[in-house]
Amino acid sequence: MDWLFALIMVWNSLTAAADAEAKAEALRLEQALRLETAYYAENTAPAVLGEAFALMPETVHQGDAVFVRSQEGGELSWNGKVYKLEPFGTGYYALLPVPTDLKPGTYKLGGKPLTVKAKTFETDRLTVTKEQQSMWQNTERINADQKKINKARSSSAPAPYYKEPFVVPTEGRLSTPYGYTRYVNGVFNGSHRAIDLAAPTGTPVKATNAGKVVLAEELYLTGNSIYIDHGLNLFSQYAHLSKLSVKPGDEVRVGDVIGEVGSTGFSTGPHLHFTFWIGNDPTNPDLFFGKTPFRWAAK
């Protein structure tokens, strides 16, 4: 009965291989779950990770953002754009912008209701010299810069560089909050979708969180500017700096000094113009300070 013995041997080795594969898969899952859970607040991780589709948070204001976790990969349609869900840990993630002018109401997102609440944005009136005002007419330079900026924000790491909460990038007085409707010399200049922190020239500017520098150079309107990719399509922007201390490709940690406050470009005094971008859409910095999008689930 040699053939039977041989068959049993083959069978045993096959089941052992399958067993080893199953064990390796279980270990891989466990490690991915550990990695992912570490990004959450202890009390929210089980609820979010147990859901097929989770919105963090489920209620937002105009100008905010929403972080999505899905058990399945693919794409999400939101407000006329398509967003890719990136694999991270045991789930798939996407960060979605909520424009300042999005109509308040309840929207369906991946079968879940997302409530968008209205927000009042104040008006900011700025008086500048004729010379400064004329800067906005140089559309050739403005458009050339925009191309560079869009290119820098065209790709992002598929996993977050950060784990710690985001920090306020400089010590200063909040001179213009997020979302102010701005008039320059009485002319509508759009919505100021950033915060301005007034501080003396030379005040250190820190990286709001870990990431990779994707742009660090002098631009026409925003002066010496830095963009940092934080992964998952999130970028931070620092403008009007007097000094740049990083270059494209540099990896930074949270709180690393990347430059100094200044008044370069279109600016009326030393301040840091700071904001976050989800791809090419700006989003409210206040959502990030002291947190990360993984912590937006906490009520």
Which region, judged by CB under 5 A, interacts with Zn ion, from 33-41, 94-102, 193-201, 222-230? 193-201
Nearest of 63, 19, 47, 280 to residue 154 by alpha carbon: 280
The residue among 157 and 198 lying less far from Zn ion, judged by its C-beta, is 198
The residues facing 120 across adjacent strands are none
Nearest-angstrom CA–CA distance, 6 and 20: 21
- Closest by CA to 86, choosing from 251, 287, 289, 233, is 233
> Which uninterrupted H or E stretch holds 247?
none
- Closest residue to Zn ion, judged by C-beta, is 273
Binding flag, residue 240, Zn ion (CB under 5 A):
no
Candidates 73-81, 141-149, 155-163, 270-278; binding stretch for Zn ion (CB under 5 A): 270-278
Minimum CB separation of residue 213 from Zn ion in Å reads 20
- SS3 readout for 16-49: HHHHHHHHHHHHHHHHHHHHHHCCCCCCCHHHHH
Out of 273, 275, 276, 287, the residue judged to bind Zn ion by CB under 5 A? 273
Q: Which stretch binds Zn ion (CB under 5 A): 105-113, 153-161, 163-171, 189-197?
A: 189-197
Rounded to a whole number of angstroms, the minimum distance from the CB of residue 223 to Zn ion is 11
Task: Say whether residue 206 binds Zn ion (CB under 5 A).
Answer: no
**Binding flag, residue 196, Zn ion (CB under 5 A):** yes
Binding of Zn ion by 36 (CB under 5 A) = no
User: Interface with Zn ion by CB under 5 A: which range of 8-16, 159-167, 204-212, 266-274?
Assistant: 266-274
Q: Residue 65's closest CA among 286, 272, 290, 228?
A: 286
Q: What's the burial of 197, exposed, middle or buried (CB within 10 Å: 0-12/13-18/19+)?
A: buried
Per CB under 5 A, 124 contacts Zn ion: no
**Tokens representing 281?**
């859409």
156 vs 191, beta carbon nearer Zn ion: 191
Instruction: Tell me which residues touch Zn ion (CB under 5 A).
Output: 194, 196, 273
